[in-house]
Amino acid sequence: MNRRRIAYSRIDRRQFALLGAASAVSLLGMGGVASAQRMSDKILGEPGPLPEIVFGPADAKVTVVEYASLTCHHCRDFHIKTWPQVKARYVDTGKVRFILREFPLDQLALAGFALARCAGEGNWYPTADLLYRNDDAWAHAQNPLDGLRALMLKNGMSKERFDSCLGDKALQEKILTVSRNGSVAGVNSTPTFFVNGKKYQGFMTVEQFAAIVDPLL
């Protein structure tokens, strides 16, 4: 499980201001009081304020919901090492419906998710993939937002679009709502998976994933 946060002393005030209202928000533990039914709805498929990132058929026997952060090493490792095998074995064969949801652990992860949402229809996943695979260029850079800007501009996003996206407080609030819903459901670290509603935390190998999912199939 990953509770890691970026050290924001490295980000100058001008860059930090681009994150808008999020700078005043605690991004971890944003829970609230909700009924058991509301929790179930949030976990199992209520779309929330943003379009869901979904792979696999709606009638699959198993639904998996992953809450992840772009600055979480275990999330990155699952995405790069395990997800391709899970997708090929379970999702592409129609056995599993897999839903990806944002749970930013810090403002830099929130910025990355906002940029993924701003990248255009169908481009959330390719953008998240790009950010995971190049985290040294931004998440661990001396000036993280400069690194993030350079990476996004190199991959076709204009400077104006970049700045506009990170200044979009309404979009940030929608992402935070997804995260708050996760907190209500019991998410307090990343990655967290719900498999047909049952919670599992931490990095999984494909073998560990199979041990959970196969009995349900």
CB 50 within 8 A of CB 174: yes
pLDDT tens-digit readout, 156-171:
999 999 999 999 999 9
Provide the CA 80 distance to its chain's centre, in angstroms: 14
CB 203 within 8 A of CB 74: yes
Q: How confident is the model at residue 149, as a pLDDT?
A: 95
Q: Quick one: average pLDDT of 35-57?
A: 69
Q: Could you tell me which residue, 174 or 38, shows the higher pLDDT? A: 174
In this prediction, residue 210 has a pLDDT band, given cuts at 50, 70 and 90, of very high
Rounded to a whole number of angstroms, the distance between the first and last alpha carbons of the chain is 27
pLDDT tens-digit readout, 93-120:
999 999 999 999 999 999 999 999 999 8
Q: How confident is the model at residue 120, as a pLDDT?
A: 86
In this prediction, residue 3 has a pLDDT band, given cuts at 50, 70 and 90, of very low
Q: Structure pTM?
A: 0.83
In this prediction, residue 34 has a pLDDT band, given cuts at 50, 70 and 90, of very low
* Degrees to nearest 5, angle at CA 119 with 54 and 193: 30
Q: Which of 169, 177, 142, 182 is nearest to 23 (CA)?
A: 169
